[in-house]
């Protein structure tokens, strides 16, 4: 088994070689984008979480942390940007665990402030992180329980994407794709199609192959995380039940 390591880097501290490697990895697996679009998206993010096997970059996610006023309360938002893992390393868990520790640290810094994960999902594999990590998230097949999160999803997506966001479908529908998975990795296999979460994603975002992105929201709190996710989150945040 390969050994993995990760580190979180401020985007302003990434050097040209690192950015070029990130862009190449992303564009190897996403169509409808280019180096300029990738760099523009990266420049809007605060940090990048990089995953390595030996010295090779095999995955990353970009992150923006900001605050909004929601329901008359200061609320933290973790916005996930471009994310990719080389398919040869899909079994690794370093990215997920390191990300949980990172956001746990943000929660620990302001434990009384609500913290939410805001992400646009371009593929079924990313959507699967939600039921693996969390008990409650939106949208989910248990919508009667998670509709309380829809107004926040609408607020965040509307503020960021304006008319490109369709609140009826909960999907950002760009006139022209800003990045979509290449066919070789976009389609679920037969076993994945048996999964409830995969079928739900495909039903809610049927235009994902053309670059449509499903807006998702999840509260990042110990009580809302499943045991394994909570364990990594609590390494920084501490137990708060």
pLDDT tens-digit map of 40-79:
999 999 999 999 998 899 999 999 999 999 999 999 999 9
Q: How far apart are CA 120 and CA 107, in angstroms?
A: 21
Q: How far apart are CA 30 and CA 182, in angstroms?
A: 5
pTM for the structure as a whole: 0.94
Residue pair 143/217 in contact by the 8 Å Cβ criterion: no
Cα torsion 97, 100, 106, 108: sign: negative
pLDDT for 241 equals 40
Name the residue among 32, 7, 44, 35 with its Cα closest to residue 123.
32
Tell me: pLDDT of 148 over 70.
yes
The CATH number linked to 109 is 3.40.630.30
Residue 100 forms part of a structural domain: yes
Tell me the residue range of the domain where 124 lies: 4-235
According to DSSP, the residues that pair with 73 across neighbouring strands are 70
Residue 67 forms part of a structural domain: yes
- When pLDDT is averaged across residues 2-10 and rounded to a whole number, the result is 94
Residue 241 forms part of a structural domain: no
Residue 160 structure tokens: 């960021």
Q: Which residue has the tokens 């409650």?
A: 136
For the chain, how many structural domains are there in total?
A: 1
Name the residue among 148, 125, 187 with its Cα closest to residue 139.
148
Residue 33 forms part of a structural domain: yes
- When pLDDT is averaged across residues 218-229 and rounded to a whole number, the result is 96
Residue 10 forms part of a structural domain: yes
Residue 9 forms part of a structural domain: yes
Residue 63 forms part of a structural domain: yes
Tell me: pLDDT of 99 over 80.
yes
Residue 72 forms part of a structural domain: yes
């Amino acid at each position: 088994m390969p050994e993995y390591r990760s580190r979180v880097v401020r985007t302003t501290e990434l050097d040209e070689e690192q950015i070029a490697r990130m862009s190449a990895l992303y564009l190897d697996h996403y169509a409808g984008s280019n180096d300029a679009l990738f760099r523009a998206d990266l420049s809007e993010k605060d940090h990048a979480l990089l995953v390595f096997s030996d010295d090779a970059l095999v995955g990353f996610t970009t992150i923006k942390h900001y605050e909004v006023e929601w329901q008359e309360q200061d609320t933290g938002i973790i916005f996930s940007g471009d994310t990719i893992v080389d398919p040869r390393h899909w079994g690794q868990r370093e990215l997920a665990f390191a990300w949980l520790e990172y956001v746990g640290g943000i929660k620990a810094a302001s434990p009384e402030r609500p913290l939410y994960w805001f992400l646009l999902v371009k593929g079924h594999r990313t959507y699967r992180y939600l039921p693996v990590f969390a008990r409650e998230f939106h949208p989910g097949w248990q919508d009667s329980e998670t509709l309380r999160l829809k107004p926040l999803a609408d607020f965040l997506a509307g503020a960021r994407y304006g008319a490109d966001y369709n609140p009826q479908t909960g999907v950002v529908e760009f006139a022209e794709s800003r990045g979509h998975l290449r066919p070789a990795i976009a389609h679920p296999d037969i076993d994945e199609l048996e999964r409830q979460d995969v079928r739900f994603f495909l039903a809610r975002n049927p235009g994902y192959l053309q670059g449509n992105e499903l807006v998702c929201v999840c509260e990042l709190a110990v009580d809302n995380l499943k045991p394994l996710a909570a364990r990594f989150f609590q390494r920084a945040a501490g137990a708060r039940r």
